[in-house]
Structure 1
């Protein structure tokens, strides 16, 4: 119960769940388990229906795929469940930002990468005070 009250980083809080029950209409769900909603009424200042996402797990905006991002920001009128974006053959699957996780990229020579540094080359000269 306390997790739902104070746990805004891991899913919807009680206030969000109340708003969803009162005003929200489920539009769809993506491959990460995030759920997308739209208000039943026009409550925004410009007459558009409000759109929002509840994250599955930790709240991280990079977990929203490009097609759902376009719908959330009114770039696309129809959600990806109705009119999916055409994928180009060169496009890769969407991957959330992995920075700060154990799966983050660690370049060669990084202190976080296996603890091994490449050998110094001959172009380095140590500084010494005169």
Structure 2
């Protein structure tokens, strides 16, 4: 319960949930469980309805897929649930940024990598002060 009151890193706080219940309407959910909302009234200075996301788990902006990102930033008028982006055959599946997480890629020789660093070969000459 205290996490919902004070914690913003793992989903919505109680204040956010209250605001969503009062002023927001659920537009859709993506494959990561993030929920996308739009305000019921026009409250922004330019007359557009405000749009926002409530993350499933840790709040990380790279967890928003490109199609929902376009909708959040008013690039697309229709949400991806109504008008999905056409998928090209050369496009890869979307993956969020894993930097700073345990699933991040570490090159061989890195202190965080599980593999051992390859031994130095004969092409390296150590510097010696004179």
TM-score range, shorter chain: over 0.9
Give the count of matched residue pairs.
Answer: 130
RMSD, matched Cα = 1.0
Cα separation, 1, equivalents of 2:127 and 2:115: 25
- Provide the secondary structure at the position in 2 that maps to 1:69: helix
Match of 1:121 in 2: 121
CA displacement at 1:92 relative to structure 2: 1.1
Cα separation, 1, equivalents of 2:18 and 2:48: 21
Runs of 4 or more, structure 1, over 3 Å off, are none
Cα separation, 2, equivalents of 1:43 and 1:121: 65
CA displacement at 1:123 relative to structure 2: 2.0
CA displacement at 1:115 relative to structure 2: 4.6
TM-score, length of structure 1 as denominator length: 0.96
1:40-62 CA-partner distances (Å, limit 9, x unpaired): 11100111100000011111111
CA displacement at 1:99 relative to structure 2: 1.2
- Provide the secondary structure at the position in 2 that maps to 1:36: strand
Q: Is 1:37 aligned to residue 47 of structure 2?
A: no
Q: Is 1:108 aligned to residue 108 of structure 2?
A: yes
Q: 1:17 to 1:24 in 2, by over 3 A?
A: same
Cα separation, 2, equivalents of 1:69 and 1:111: 35
Match of 1:92 in 2: 92
Which structure 2 segments of 5+ residues have no match? none
CA displacement at 1:73 relative to structure 2: 0.6
TM-score, length of structure 2 as denominator length: 0.96
CA displacement at 1:100 relative to structure 2: 1.7
CA displacement at 1:122 relative to structure 2: 2.1
